[in-house]
Amino acid sequence: MKRGTVVWVDLNDATPPELGKVRPGIVVSGTTHNSVLNTVVIVPTSSLAPEIRPLRLGVGRFAGKESFAVIPGIRQVRKGRLRGVLGEISAGQLEQLDDCLEAYLR
């Protein structure tokens, strides 16, 4: 699984404020790690606006809706939770996402 891939991910069994349900998520773990581990790290997306950097970043349209990466929702998931590929974010968007992750995790 390539870093920057947008996937359907099943986040059910979540407890608020965690994001739940099946939704798009962006794979942010390294491509090399993703090829050998049974898990990936994703940042879930939401259609709820607005963009609030570094906590929420607009990443384009996925599944017919404008999507925002929800940085505080970052989590590791089993590959068995992945339900299909929707596409990829651009290199520029991935760089912006990295900047938001760095600001959030400091």
Structure confidence at residue 13 (pLDDT): 83
Domains of the chain, earliest start first: 5-105 (2.30.30.110)
Structure confidence at residue 14 (pLDDT): 66
15 — pLDDT class (breaks 50, 70, 90): low
SS (H, E, C) the chain: CCCCEEEEEECCCCCCCCCCCEEEEEECCCHHHHHHCCEEEEEEEECCCCCECCCEEEEEEECCEEEEEEHHHCEEEEHHHEEEEEEECCHHHHHHHHHHHHHHHC
Amino acid at 92: G
38 — pLDDT class (breaks 50, 70, 90): very high
Average pLDDT over residues 42-54: 93
21 — pLDDT class (breaks 50, 70, 90): confident
pLDDT digits (tens, 9 = 90+) for 52-85: 999 999 999 998 999 999 999 999 999 999 999 9
Structure confidence at residue 22 (pLDDT): 92
Structure confidence at residue 49 (pLDDT): 83
Measured between alpha carbons, how far is 41 from 26 in angstroms, rounded to an integer?
8
pTM above 0.85, yes or no: yes
